[in-house]
């Protein structure tokens, strides 16, 4: 069933909440929505878990205000959902940008009942290169993505999708995944890209105080595998699960392995 939770600034955040067992909360990637976890949801429900999928502000069925697309505000939205639904002792799964938001949440709200953390292809600790951080896209490359979004968002999304997966997926599957991003708000897509470009979580990693599983595709062209190594170095109780046949989209490239790994961890 679907719920709407009101954020601090009045924004309505859409949540898909299905099942009755222990809760697993999912944070999607840029610029999709919680439906990207369709095949994880099915596996969790079959195993008796509760699936809680959040659409960020600006994405999916949530409201799309003009502001609030920084990690701290998005993490606050997650807190309002967890609090509003009374979720305790849960696992949080953050994919790509959702991984960065999940880290921000784990640090900002350590008393919310978070039990375990899964970071899949996380856009963390930093998405763009710095003088002392040579990994990921350059800030100029993200600026170009933003410019392309302003000119032809569907074409930008198509190009982004071409580097998302390592394996070949059916055309209908590719179209479905592309559509998830098309329904996002344009201004939310742009504002979130600026957050990806500018934010830095390196000092936050040591403050993550829950057991953390880092799932990362070795062929990831969006969040290079070096990101996983940096997260493992920084997060005290963490380990990496290498996905040898995956690009960025581990949830589909190695769907069965992803689901099995997730179920074993939680």
CATH code for the domain of 249: 3.40.50.1820
pLDDT digits (tens, 9 = 90+) for 148-191: 999 999 999 999 999 999 999 999 999 999 999 999 999 999 99
3-class DSSP assignment, residue 228: helix
CB 241 within 8 A of CB 261: yes
Residue 62: pLDDT band with limits 50, 70, 90: very high
Q: How far apart are CA 257 and CA 246, in angstroms?
A: 10
- List the catalytic residues: 96, 220, 248
The sheet with strand 238-243 has its strands ordered as 2-6, 12-18, 50-54, 23-27, 90-95, 114-120, 211-217, 238-243
pLDDT digits (tens, 9 = 90+) for 19-49: 999 999 999 999 999 999 999 999 999 999 9
Contacts of 75 (CB under 8 A, 6+ apart): 101, 104, 105, 108, 109
User: DSSP state, 117?
Assistant: E
Q: How far apart are CA 168 and CA 53, in angstroms?
A: 26
DSSP labels, 65-108 = -SS--SHHHHHHHHHHHHHHTT--SEEEEEETHHHHHHHHHHHH
If 0-12 CB within 10 Å is exposed, 13-18 middle and 19+ buried, where does residue 2 land? exposed
Quick one: tokens of 83?
């609090």
Residue 31: is the preceding peptide bond cis (ω within 30°)?
yes
Looking at residue 149, what is its pLDDT? 96
Looking at residue 225, what is its pLDDT? 98
Count of domains for the chain: 1
Largest CA-CA distance found in the chain, in angstroms, rounded: 47
CB 39 within 8 A of CB 11: no
Q: How far apart are CA 92 and CA 76, in angstroms?
A: 14
Q: How far apart are CA 20 and CA 75, in angstroms?
A: 24
Q: How far apart are CA 148 and CA 40, in angstroms?
A: 31
**Domain with 124 in it:** 2-265
Mean pLDDT of the chain: 97
Q: How far apart are CA 230 and CA 47, in angstroms?
A: 32
Looking at residue 185, what is its pLDDT? 98
pTM score over 0.95: yes
Looking at residue 2, what is its pLDDT? 78
pLDDT digits (tens, 9 = 90+) for 94-132: 999 999 999 999 999 999 999 999 999 999 999 999 999
Residue 257: is the preceding peptide bond cis (ω within 30°)?
no
pLDDT higher than 80, residue 1: no
Q: How far apart are CA 209 and CA 219, in angstroms?
A: 29
Using DSSP bridges, classify how beta strands 50-54 and 23-27 pair: parallel, antiparallel or unpaired.
Answer: parallel
Q: Determine the average pLDDT of the residues in 238-264.
A: 98
3-class DSSP assignment, residue 222: coil
Nearest-CA neighbor of 239 among 211, 220, 219, 260? 211
Residue 250: pLDDT band with limits 50, 70, 90: very high
pLDDT digits (tens, 9 = 90+) for 191-200: 999 999 999 9
């Amino acid at each position: 069933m679907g719920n709407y939770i009101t954020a601090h600034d009045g924004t309505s955040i859409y949540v898909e909440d299905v099942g009755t067992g222990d809760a697993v909360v999912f944070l999607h990637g840029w610029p999709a929505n919680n439906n990207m976890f369709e095949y994880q949801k099915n596996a969790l429900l079959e195993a008796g878990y509760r699936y809680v999928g959040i659409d960020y502000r600006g994405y999916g069925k949530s409201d799309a205000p003009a502001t609030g697309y920084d990690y701290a505000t998005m993490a606050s939205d997650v807190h309002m959902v967890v609090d509003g639904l009374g979720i305790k002792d849960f696992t949080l799964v953050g994919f790509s940008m959702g991984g960065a938001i999940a880290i921000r949440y784990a640090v900002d709200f350590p008393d919310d009942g978070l039990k375990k953390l899964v970071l899949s292809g996380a856009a963390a600790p930093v998405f763009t290169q710095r003088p002392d951080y040579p990994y990921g896209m350059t800030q100029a490359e993200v600026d170009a993505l933003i410019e392309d979004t302003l000119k032809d968002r569907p074409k930008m999304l198509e190009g982004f999708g071409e580097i998302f997966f390592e394996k070949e997926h059916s055309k209908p599957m590719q179209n479905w995944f592309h559509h998830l991003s098309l329904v996002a708000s344009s201004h939310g897509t742009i504002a979130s890209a600026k957050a990806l470009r500018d934010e830095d979580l390196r000092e936050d990693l040591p403050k993550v105080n829950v057991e953390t599983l880092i799932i990362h595709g070795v062929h990831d062209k969006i969040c290079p595998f070096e990101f996983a190594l940096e997260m493992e170095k920084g997060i005290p109780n963490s380990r990496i699960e290498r996905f040898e046949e995956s690009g960025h989209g581990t949830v589909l490239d190695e769907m069965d392995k992803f689901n099995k790994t997730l179920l074993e961890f939680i």
